[in-house]
Amino acid sequence: MLISEIYRNSKDPIISFEFFPPKTDAGYRTLFRTIEDLKQLAPGFVSVTMGAGGSTRSKTVDLTVEITREIGLVTMCHLPCTGFRPREIGGILEQLKAGDVHNVLALRGDPPQDDPDFEAPTDGFRYANELVAYIAERDDRDAFSIGAACAPETHPEAPDAATDIANIKRKVDAGADFLVSNFFFENAHFFDFVERCRAAGIEVPIVPGIMPIATVSGIRRMAAMNGTAIPAELDAELERVDDDAKATYALGVRWATIQCEELLARGVDGIQFYTLNRSPASREIFENLFG
């Protein structure tokens, strides 16, 4: 099923979950328990990330196909184009189609941090809008719904917020059917971003990404990497719960629940949860919201 149709046809907000391909067998066992658990919440779809530079290509494609075929969920495969030639992207799309996966998140990606020798092919894609156009111009365009990424607090490399929004519009004009946002901790950033997108003529669903806090050091590192602001109130709470896993978990659930309540009240098309392959936090937030 195409995610563009899921958003178009649903009266209710679409809840979705993001997973990543684990490195170990134990990680896969945890992930499949997580997926079975979250399946009970009837998500609109789930998505699977692909490592920087396409490093987890086979694992990502295989996992996405397995979740589709064996577990029966609608899936989306993340597709970062840095590191791939167009013909390789074509090959991945063929594999996905053959595996009944019809949704891709078209991303630029980043060079892998653990590979100092990494070189992007010169005949590859420079930006995500080129990947979106490549998929949208294929003969099998109708076989895929295309999502793209956005950063409510502006992508760290963009010279300014207006240029970043103009670049997001390039992706939508090229054929992106919906946008999924980076995580943020202050809804005001998201609402302001959506308003500026609409003013710029971006009309597709813009879905907020919510990250339940797993560890204090982890969230600080990811926020710094992504240019996500940690508001003073949350910062103080993070200081308070540091080194206390239970209190960190409870803070993460409480903060995300409050964010989601307001997002839903303001009529978002859906919420994408970054699960980090664990179900309890997303499940508890879901239960807080929908009982």
Ligand X SMILES: Cc1cc2nc3c(=O)[nH]c(=O)nc-3n(C[C@H](O)[C@H](O)[C@H](O)COP(=O)(O)OP(=O)(O)OC[C@H]3O[C@@H](n4cnc5c(N)ncnc54)[C@H](O)[C@@H]3O)c2cc1C
Whether 262 is a known active-site residue: answer no
Smaller CB distance to ligand X: residue 164 or 237?
164
Element (H, E) at 2: none
Smaller CB distance to ligand X: residue 144 or 248?
144
The nearest distance, CB 222 to ligand X, in angstroms, is 11
Residue pair 18/47 in contact (Cβ under 8 Å)? The answer is yes
The nearest distance, CB 148 to ligand X, in angstroms, is 6
Residue type, 92: I
- 33-38 contact pairs (CB < 8 A, 24+): 33/279, 34/275, 34/277, 34/278, 34/279, 35/67, 35/71, 35/73, 36/71, 37/279, 37/283, 38/275, 38/279, 38/282, 38/283
Closest CA to 167 of 146, 150, 180: 150
Smaller CB distance to ligand X: residue 237 or 268?
268
* The one catalytic residue among 18, 153, 237, 284: 18
The nearest distance, CB 109 to ligand X, in angstroms, is 4
Smaller CB distance to ligand X: residue 176 or 285?
176
Element (H, E) at 266: none
The nearest distance, CB 128 to ligand X, in angstroms, is 3
Smaller CB distance to ligand X: residue 105 or 285?
105
CA-to-CA separations, 82 to 56, 88, 93, in angstroms, rounded: 13, 11, 16
The nearest distance, CB 80 to ligand X, in angstroms, is 4
Q: What is the binding site for ligand X (CB under 6 A)?
A: 49-50, 52, 78, 80, 105, 107-110, 127-129, 149, 155, 157-158, 164, 167, 170-171, 180, 182, 209
Element (H, E) at 211: none
Separation between Cα atoms, residue 174 and residue 130, nearest integer Å: 8
Strand, helix or coil for residue 19: strand
Which residues lie closer than 8 Å to 159 by C-beta, 6 or more apart? none
Report, as residue numbers or ranges, the catalytic residues: 18
